[in-house]
Structure 1
Amino acid sequence: MLEAGGPTQVQHADFHFVPLLDGLGPEISQHLTSVCVSVRRDFLCLFRDLIDKLNSNRTSEGAEDASPPVTCIVSDGFMTFSIRVAEELGIPVAMFFTISACAFMGILQYRDLKDRGIVPLKENSYITNGYLNTTLDWIPGMKDIQLKDLPTFLRTTDPDDILFNIIMESADNAPRATTTILHTFDVLETEILRAVSPLFSSIHAIGPLQLLLDHKAPADPLRAVDYNPWNEDTECLKWLDSKETGTVIYVNFGSIAVLTLEQLIEIGMGLAMSKYHFLWVIRPNLVVGESASLPPEFAAKTEGRGFITSWCPQERVLNHPSVGGFLTHCGWNSIMESIVAGVPMICWPFLGDQQTNCRFCCREWGIGMEINEDVNRVEVVKLVKELMEGGEGRIMKERVMEWKQLAREAVGPDGSSAMNFDKLLHILS
């Protein structure tokens, strides 16, 4: 983020960036297992030492620029070491889960699923033999949900799998926090929020953050700071300016998901055969172990119709009038940004909460269409055309525009997210 020009640009008297070094290189830090190992092994001591350092600097005699004491912690929901430190200090801690409420409810089931003997899987064949189609009819707010629809870290045969266990432990420990924050808004996930609320002493839905920031602190210099793992290419915005309204399909699979070269080619040729304009983000490490090389026929078929970049300002892209659809991995930030922009989606989930998000986008909220896991160019063409010009695509566009309006109402002065945010501040003050 520092190299991409984020926090170094900030000049703000009351806000400071202080890093906790995970000891991982830039490439390894994209590997979830390595990150989890580092967090579990090192971060309790690192974080406790940081808090002690901040508090000791405050009490240094003669320190004119001393900071106030640490009186509150706002932590990522999966960084459960912060709860222990807060308890040691006797200060409030808010656990902020930057996932959907439906995905949150999904991870809350991990312990129960393990106790019932449903997971871990008995053998790897359970992933493909239909076992994941098992219906789980006891989860409140998730009617007809299947095992395959829950966050995918439970798809392991190893009871000691670190990703499975760190997610389960995070869910187990979440109720110990002073309060819990979810990045969603009440009307979008009403049933789930109603079902999960009794499990916590305090829980607040305060999304979409993009819109809430505009209402709460429109003039704050921090609002304009972008945090990205790679430099953003803004030339794509000029390219979008040259295209007519609703004629571009935007393609981005996020910062972690990886493709095989075959999948990349199938997506690419599907875009080529669709005849639509497209803006495609192909980050440097998108393809597993190989360069992201597309065949010569792709270039021939897409000349003048496509723009490929390594990273882009996604919020600005989705809000550009020329963008009519979004082919996404279903990361929650991407979905929220798409709802805020009023852009319907083609969903191709890879891992984690993306599968749950996809299920709700397509079946509950009516704003997405799912691609099969074994993607092929013919299917890509079919879905792109349906999204951009078909009857189902028009219905999805209408629905996402309705959700867009409801999201704006949620962050308004009397909206649920705005009021929840004020309640949150009161609890933590």
Structure 2
Amino acid sequence: MMAGQEQHRRRVVLFPLPFQGHISPMLHLGALLHARGLAVTVLHTGFNAPDPARHPELGFVPIHEAFPAEVTSPGADIARQLLALNAASEGPFREALASLLRLRGGGGHQADVACAVVDGQCYAALRAAAQLGVPVLALRTDSAATFRSLLAYPRLLDAGYVPVTEERLDEPVPDLEPLRTRDLIRIDGSDADALRRLLARVAGAVLASASGVVFNTSEGIEAPELAAIRRELSRPAFAVGPLHLLSRAPAEQTLRAPDRGCLAWLDARPPRSVLYVSLGSVAAVSRAAFEETAWGLAGSGVTFLWVVRPGSVTGAGDEAPPPLPDGFSEETRGRGKVVAWAPQREVLAHAAIGAFWTHCGWNSTLESVCEGVPMLVQPCFADQMANARYVTHKWGVGMEVGEVIERGRVAEAVAKLMVGEDGARMRERARHLQMQATAATSSAMDSLVQYILSL
């Protein structure tokens, strides 16, 4: 790891949150930093460990954590899961970083670690790096809009906007337009006190420990939100995205093997004729909502590619994809394809894709924006609500599938987006937003590298 020319580079240490939507942008960032002359070491958990073979230019060092079942269980309460993950990883991360600092480079000099870049959800690792005297940057893998609402959390708590209550769901949130109370960070069914503690610790760690914040977003689509964050923070904020476009990595880091046969299937479909449906790598819906989705797709008459992964239906187990409703495959034969996982970036870039039914995780939202694909939104938890609100009411490039998933409404929304006049207008706005999002240059990344070298 320290051999050859790597000895003479200043080093950046990365630590991603061990979930797919967080690992991918962190590794894209690592590849970009390495391409600009920095040595990069990735400290990582054994749980959901990244594949070193996909990034031979980076060094990978496991921290040898011991996670309780509360962290690794697919059905865990998300807020409690992240609290437990932070508690269990703090000590192993601290020791791994300290060991790296003790390593000797060429000429007997101590390893030259310029800084650490830690996932913003890993508040304990942010704190540990700062306590070891290592300058640390927080990588936010969500939108700037979401982070702005996180910074506002103490004010929102005092004003009674959070925790979210039924009677205030549709109230606009002052200074966070176009967000309503229902669009703030929330996890329905999660322990409310655990969520409050988690959000307070995440925001507090940035303010107490971070020397700067890095965003996987673009000035072209979130300039007002970034400007507001910079006014509030007393440290730099860098918008270096979209990372998946700027990185030379050939494809996203996935924890599941994608079914690449769906690309050949798309090749045989006319332009903009296929609805791509995927709720990401973590979200799960009830069996009733799953069946209504299936019959809504069937009733829409639209051609679709649907990702049905293991664990996507609550209570159905995580070893195999949940069974489709009886008669669904026969009803949709010739115009529907169901896969357990898809190479999403390639799918969204395919000419046959006309729209994307998405949970509005930030990676999925950004990938759709960067391909000019309009969206049908079904947010499930956390930052997805704010992203969905921006898609529908700030950028105007999508519509809601509806809070209640019902087959008639699903069929109507799908047809409206795919073949209706409203869908055509959203498609045009999506192409315009694509130009804004992809107008990124290397200047933001260059500024980040200069800042790292100054630390």
- Whether these two folds match at TM > 0.5 is yes
Counterpart selection for 2:180 from 146, 160, 171: 146
Is residue 53 of structure 1 aligned with residue 99 of structure 2? yes
Task: Give unpaired runs (5+ residues) of structure 2.
Answer: 1-19, 21-45
Amino acid at match of 1:108: L
Q: Return 272-281 or 48-57, whichever deviates more.
A: 48-57
Cα distance in 1, alignment partners of residues 101 and 290 from structure 2: 50
Counterpart selection for 1:210 from 244, 247, 254: 244
Q: Displacement of 1:60 after TM fit?
A: 11
Cα distance in 1, alignment partners of residues 438 and 251 from structure 2: 22
- Does the residue aligned with 1:45 lie in a helix, a strand or coil? helix
Task: Give unpaired runs (5+ residues) of structure 1.
Answer: 413-417
Is residue 41 of structure 1 aligned with residue 65 of structure 2? no
Is residue 257 of structure 1 aligned with residue 303 of structure 2? no
Against the structure 1 CA distance between its residues 50 and 100, is the aligned structure 2 distance closer, same or farther, given a 3 Å change threshold?
A: same
Question: Deviations for 1:370-404, whole angstroms, at most 9, x for unmatched residues?
Answer: 12211111111111111111111011111111111
Following TM superposition, the consecutive aligned residue runs of length 4 or more in structure 1 with deviations greater than 6 angstroms are 1-5, 59-62, 154-157
Cα distance in 2, alignment partners of residues 169 and 3 from structure 1: 23
Q: Structure 2-normalised TM-score?
A: 0.82
Which residue is equivalent to 1:18? 62
Q: Is the 8 A contact 1:366 1:396 kept in 2?
A: yes
Against the structure 1 CA distance between its residues 51 and 339, is the aligned structure 2 distance closer, same or farther, given a 3 Å change threshold?
A: same
Cα distance in 2, alignment partners of residues 192 and 251 from structure 1: 29
Cα distance in 2, alignment partners of residues 297 and 250 from structure 1: 21
Counterpart selection for 2:213 from 180, 183, 202: 180
- Does the residue aligned with 1:105 lie in a helix, a strand or coil? helix
Q: Return 93-102 or 67-76, whichever deviates more.
A: 67-76
Where does 1:268-279 land on structure 2 (aligned, <5 Å)?
Answer: 268-279=294-305
Against the structure 1 CA distance between its residues 17 and 250, is the aligned structure 2 distance closer, same or farther, given a 3 Å change threshold?
A: farther
Counterpart selection for 2:406 from 376, 385, 408: 376
Which residue is equivalent to 2:374? 344
Q: Displacement of 1:4 after TM fit?
A: 9.3
Q: Is the 8 A contact 2:252 2:345 kept in 1?
A: no
CA RMSD of aligned residues (A): 2.6
Counterpart selection for 2:171 from 118, 134, 138: 134
Against the structure 1 CA distance between its residues 382 and 22, is the aligned structure 2 distance closer, same or farther, given a 3 Å change threshold?
A: farther
Is residue 284 of structure 1 aligned with residue 310 of structure 2? yes
Against the structure 1 CA distance between its residues 211 and 13, is the aligned structure 2 distance closer, same or farther, given a 3 Å change threshold?
A: closer
Amino acid at match of 1:245: P
Question: Deviations for 1:175-194, whole angstroms, at most 9, x for unmatched residues?
Answer: 33111011111121222122
Cα distance in 1, alignment partners of residues 200 and 189 from structure 2: 13
Cα distance in 1, alignment partners of residues 215 and 48 from structure 2: 27
Question: Deviations for 1:134-163, whole angstroms, at most 9, x for unmatched residues?
Answer: 3322x2xx23532112111498784xx223
Which residue is equivalent to 2:345? 315
Which residue is equivalent to 2:128? 85
Q: Is the 8 A contact 2:355 2:417 kept in 1?
A: yes
Against the structure 1 CA distance between its residues 377 and 70, is the aligned structure 2 distance closer, same or farther, given a 3 Å change threshold?
A: same
Identity among equivalent positions (%) equals 30
Q: Displacement of 1:51 after TM fit?
A: 0.9
Q: Return 149-158 or 197-206, whichever deviates more.
A: 149-158
Amino acid at match of 1:75: V
Q: Is the 8 A contact 2:188 2:381 kept in 1?
A: no
Which residue is equivalent to 1:171? 203
Q: Is the 8 A contact 1:205 1:420 kept in 2?
A: yes
Counterpart selection for 2:158 from 115, 121, 124: 115
Cα distance in 1, alignment partners of residues 201 and 258 from structure 2: 35
Against the structure 1 CA distance between its residues 30 and 321, is the aligned structure 2 distance closer, same or farther, given a 3 Å change threshold?
A: farther
Q: Structure 1-normalised TM-score?
A: 0.86
Q: Is the 8 A contact 2:80 2:191 kept in 1?
A: no
Q: Return 7-16 or 102-111, whichever deviates more.
A: 7-16
Cα distance in 2, alignment partners of residues 203 and 271 from structure 1: 42
Q: Is the 8 A contact 1:252 1:329 kept in 2?
A: yes
- Does the residue aligned with 1:189 lie in a helix, a strand or coil? helix
Cα distance in 1, alignment partners of residues 392 and 231 from structure 2: 27
Which residue is equivalent to 2:53? 9
Counterpart selection for 2:229 from 167, 187, 196: 196
- Does the residue aligned with 1:321 lie in a helix, a strand or coil? coil
Q: Is the 8 A contact 2:266 2:352 kept in 1?
A: yes
Which residue is equivalent to 2:449? 425
Q: Displacement of 1:274 after TM fit?
A: 1.1
Amino acid at match of 1:173: A
Q: Displacement of 1:87 after TM fit?
A: 2.3
Which residue is equivalent to 2:28? none
Against the structure 1 CA distance between its residues 404 and 163, is the aligned structure 2 distance closer, same or farther, given a 3 Å change threshold?
A: same
- Does the residue aligned with 2:62 lie in a helix, a strand or coil? coil
Against the structure 1 CA distance between its residues 117 and 179, is the aligned structure 2 distance closer, same or farther, given a 3 Å change threshold?
A: same
Q: Return 4-13 or 341-350, whichever deviates more.
A: 4-13
Q: Return 100-109 or 346-355, whichever deviates more.
A: 100-109
Which residue is equivalent to 2:26? none
Which residue is equivalent to 1:28? 73
Cα distance in 1, alignment partners of residues 369 and 61 from structure 2: 30
- Does the residue aligned with 2:114 lie in a helix, a strand or coil? coil
Which residue is equivalent to 2:387? 357
- Does the residue aligned with 1:296 lie in a helix, a strand or coil? coil
Q: Return 257-266 or 195-204, whichever deviates more.
A: 195-204
Amino acid at match of 2:116: I
